A and B are shown apart, each in its own frame.
Chain A
Amino acid sequence: MIHLLQVNPSSGEPIYQQLTEQIKRLIAAGVLLEGDELPSVRQVASSLSINPMTVSRSYQMLLSEGLVLRPRGQKMRVAQAQASDEQARSEMLQPLVDDLVKQAKQLQLELSAVQSLLAQSWNSVTIPSDDADN
């Protein structure tokens, strides 16, 4: 699943939060299932070229929220099996949507213009799927 993770060091959001949010989304969307192993801190740090403490911090947050478990001496595993319902997944997007709307209003765009932008983007943007995982 490492290839599904990415960080943007220039974003306003700290890297450990970016990672935590991405893993949460992968769990919510059912891409990561109960019992799935998370890659080791070192693997993630190495492959994304980020500080291992940043990865640990993100894993700690997931642990404290009960989204992952670490059985004694084993790798970190995903705790919940059930993909969150659509309502919960939608809520995760809320801050991004609020931000988008704010910027759209600053640009004096109409709702219809934003909707057609969204539709265009929906049809052209693809995300990596988990099939490529080994």
Chain B
Amino acid sequence: MIKCRNLQAKRLAYLNFDLAEGKILGLLGKNGAGKTTLIRTLLGFNKVNEGAELEVLGYQPGAWPQELKNDIGYVPQRFAGFDGLTIDEAIATVKPFYQDWDDAFAEKLLAEYGLPRWIKIRKLSEGEKQQFSIVLAMAYRPKLLILDEPVASLDPLARRQFIEQLIDNHCETGTTVVFASHITSDIERIASDVLLIKEGKAMISGDLDDIRANLVKVNCRETAFAKLDLAPFKPLSHSQTGADHQFLCDAAGQNIAALLTAKGLQQVQVSHLNLEDLFLELHA
């Protein structure tokens, strides 16, 4: 569904990742890490650099044939447009562009959110605008749904509703989803894959369950730490207090505590982290 190699654009530096059809990708990163740049590049709004290989739905973004354009749904960080129209008027304007517009589904989403359909869109709250934007992006059942912090302005109830709708829709249609969010527990729930961008590079990328099982935090004591060759364990974000060391590493399905002890590290303690803690460790 998405193939990305050596992508450089604004904030991105040689970014690589793949996303198979039917997966849900959770996109994580600090503000300014390059999430929105990536999303806008996937949508064809940014130029792709020489030497990069980027395919979305089998084409370079922007080069899609007409019929594929309706296969992508997009919820931007901030919804703009249709200011002077009501929700019903805006839907009547947008609907003719999409062959697969699903009236019943759109009605269901609107009803679940309880959006006031007679009010001009410029008078809606930020959260309501975001909900309406979600309805517009999902109503034609796109094959690829790209969401740039879709829940940032939503209250906890509306957020939970959205997550439920997203999963229901995914179960029904197998939609592939790219979901940027700062709410790690949402990503933990719904994502099959995760991509964590730091300073334009992919720090973590791949199957979420594998990452959760294998990327572990190690605490240990060692005075000659620098002399050890830990490269096979791909250590990340090493920090040190006296002889106490802390780092993340890839256990690759093995008994990492035993392997590190055999390497000469002492008092090795291994712990599994949730996404939020991983995120914090990688930005410490």
Instruction: Please determine whether A51 and B24 come into contact, CB atoms closer than 8 angstroms.
Output: yes
Q: Is A82 an interface residue (CB 8 A)?
A: no
Q: A46-B167, A46-B171 are in contact. Are A53 and B192 (CB under 8 A)?
A: yes
Interface residues in B211-227 (C-beta closer than 8 Å to A): 212-213
A-B contacts counted at CB < 8 A amount to 58
Whether a CB of chain B sits under 8 angstroms from the CB of A57 is yes
Q: Are B189 and A51 in contact (CB under 8 A)?
A: yes
The listed residue (A12, A42, A49, A52) touching B271 by CB distance below 8 A is A12
* Interface presence of A59 (CB below 8 A): no
- Chain B residues lying within 8 Å of A54, measured Cβ to Cβ, are 192, 209
Look across to chain B and name the residue whose beta carbon is closest to the beta carbon of A16. B209
| Complexed CA–CA distance, A50 and B191 (Å) | 8
Q: Are B274 and A12 in contact (CB under 8 A)?
A: yes
Residues of B within 8 A of A95 (CB): none
Q: Which residues in B have their C-beta under 8 angstroms from that of A42?
A: 171
| Residue in chain B with minimal CB distance to A14 | B212
Report the interface size for chain B: residues with CB under 8 A from the other chain. 27
A10 lies within 8 A of chain B by Cβ: yes
B18 in the interface (beta carbon within 8 A): no
Complex Cα spacing A52 to B213, Å: 18
A45 touches B272 (CB 8 A): no
B160 in the interface, Cβ–Cβ < 8 Å? yes
Q: Which of A13, A16, A46 contacts B164 (CB 8 A)?
A: A46
Quick check: B188 and A12 within 8 Å, CB to CB?
Answer: no
A6 smallest CB distance to B (angstroms): 12
* B171–A49 CB distance below 8 A: no
Residue in A12, A46, A49, A53 whose beta carbon sits within 8 Å of that of B189 in the complex: A49
Complex CA gap A53/B190 in Å reads 9
Measured in the bound complex, the distance between the Cα atoms of B168 and A14 in whole Å is 21
State A48–B168 Cα separation when bound (angstroms): 11
- A14 near B209: Cβ-Cβ < 8 Å: yes
Alpha-carbon distance between A53 and B185 when the two chains are bound, in angstroms: 17
Please tell me which one of the listed residues B160, B209, B276, B277 contacts residue A49 in the complex, with CB atoms under 8 A apart: B160
- State the Cβ distance, A5 to closest chain B Cβ, in Å: 14
Of B167, B184, B186, B271, chain A has the most CB atoms within 10 Å of the CB of B167
Task: Map CB proximity to A onto B248-284 as digits: 1 under 8 Å, 0 otherwise.
Answer: 0000000000000000000000011110110000000
CB neighbours of A7 from chain B (8 A): 189
Q: Say yes or no: is B170 at the interface (Cβ < 8 Å to chain A).
A: yes
* Contacts A16-B209, A53-B192 given; does A10 touch B185 at CB 8 Å: yes
* B-contacting residues, A1-52, CB 8 Å: 7, 9-16, 42, 45-46, 48-52
Q: Is B163 an interface residue (CB 8 A)?
A: yes
Q: Give Cα A16 to B211, complex, Å.
A: 13
Mask, B173-188, CB within 8 Å of A = 1, is: 0000000000011101
In the bound complex, residues from chain A placing their C-beta under 8 Å from that of B164 are 46, 49
CB contact between B190 and one of A13, A16, A49 (< 8 Å): that residue: A49
* Nearest CB on B from A30, distance (A): 29
Complex: A7 Cα to B190 Cα, angstroms = 12
Q: List 10 A-B contacts (CB under 8 A).
A: A9-B274, A12-B272, A13-B272, A14-B209, A45-B167, A48-B189, A50-B190, A51-B170, A52-B167, A52-B170
Residues in A lying within 8 Å of B, measured CB to CB: 7, 9-16, 42, 45-46, 48-54, 57
5 further A-B pairs in the complex, CB-CB below 8 A; given A49-B167, A50-B189, A51-B190: A9-B185, A12-B274, A42-B171, A54-B192, A57-B209
* Shortest Cβ-Cβ A-B pairs, 5 listed: A9-B188, A14-B212, A9-B185, A12-B272, A42-B171
